[in-house]
């Protein structure tokens, strides 16, 4: 993780809920196949806290082999694009005309100040949602509350129920909160396609005098 995050995360690691979560994770990684790899669980926090401009909240990591690497919606280079990510790229193309990339690795977004944070940071192989209710949701809420209180002028992109439930933690007078359906094929046609979030995000960043994101 980036140095800027260490005091924030250390405070969470010392909380009773996180100590229970850590025990669960230690056992899970010992006994089962868990994604992402242990050393990549906190990859979202390689984005400098002081440079964060946009926050995208995912659900839980991809549960197929070789996909998850700690950034919400992202997959490693060379991995086939998951359907949700395909739909994200389709929406960006529809809004901006940008070509659909050959890689689903969103590290390039993270380097521009996009925090790609899942609601739950780990998952058992082939079992979507298997690590819900273990403490990650509390962790994520605390991170969002910290960002809301200590950062100025962020854009939050909340797609789907899990992410939209976080809207209550965000001061919409201080930040821009954009909500829509999830980009999953099951829901993308119910409001994700055509949401214009990527254009709206950049327009707001420009108004605030911040560098726009090269999606």
**pLDDT band of 57, cuts 50, 70, 90:** very high
Per-residue model confidence (pLDDT) at position 143: 98
Per-residue model confidence (pLDDT) at position 183: 98
**78 DSSP assignment:** T
**Identified catalytic residue from 60, 152, 162, 171:** 60
Across the chain, mean pLDDT equals: 97
Helix, coil or strand: residue 99: coil
User: pLDDT, tens digit, for every residue of 111-157?
Assistant: 999 999 999 999 999 999 999 999 999 999 999 999 999 999 999 99
* Long-range Cβ contact pairs of 162-166 (< 8 A, separation 24 or more): 162/57, 162/59, 162/119, 163/57, 163/58, 163/59, 163/119, 166/57, 166/119, 166/140, 166/141
Question: b/e string for 139-154 if b means 16 or more Cβ within 10 A?
Answer: bbebbbebbbeebeeb
Region of 182 (left: φ > 0; alpha: ψ -120 to 50; beta: rest) is beta
* 60 in active site: yes
User: pLDDT, tens digit, for every residue of 6-20?
Assistant: 999 999 999 999 999
Per-residue model confidence (pLDDT) at position 204: 98
- Please give the biggest Cα pair distance in the chain: 50
Stretch (H or E) spanning 164: helix 161-164
């Amino acid at each position: 993780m980036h140095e800027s995050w260490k005091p924030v995360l250390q405070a969470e690691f010392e909380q009773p809920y996180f100590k229970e979560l850590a025990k669960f994770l230690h056992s899970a990684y010992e006994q089962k196949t868990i994604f992402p790899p242990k050393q990549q669980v906190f990859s979202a926090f390689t984005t400098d806290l002081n440079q964060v401009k946009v926050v995208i909240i995912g659900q839980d990591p991809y549960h197929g082999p070789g996909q998850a690497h700690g950034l919400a919606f992202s997959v490693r280079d060379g991995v086939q694009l998951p359907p949700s990510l395909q739909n994200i790229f389709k929406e960006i193309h529809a809004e901006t005309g940008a070509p659909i990339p050959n890689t689903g690795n969103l590290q390039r977004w993270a380097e521009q100040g996009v925090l790609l944070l899942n609601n739950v940071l780990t998952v058992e192989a082939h079992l979507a949602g298997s690590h819900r209710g273990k403490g990650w949701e509390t962790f994520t809420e605390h991170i969002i509350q910290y960002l809301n209180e200590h950062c100025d002028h962020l854009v939050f992109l909340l797609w789907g129920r899990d992410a939209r439930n976080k809207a209550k933690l965000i001061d919409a007078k201080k930040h821009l909160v954009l909500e829509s359906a999830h980009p999953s094929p099951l829901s993308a046609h119910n409001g994700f396609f055509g949401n214009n979030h990527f254009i709206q995000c950049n327009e707001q960043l420009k108004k605030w005098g911040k560098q726009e994101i090269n999606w």
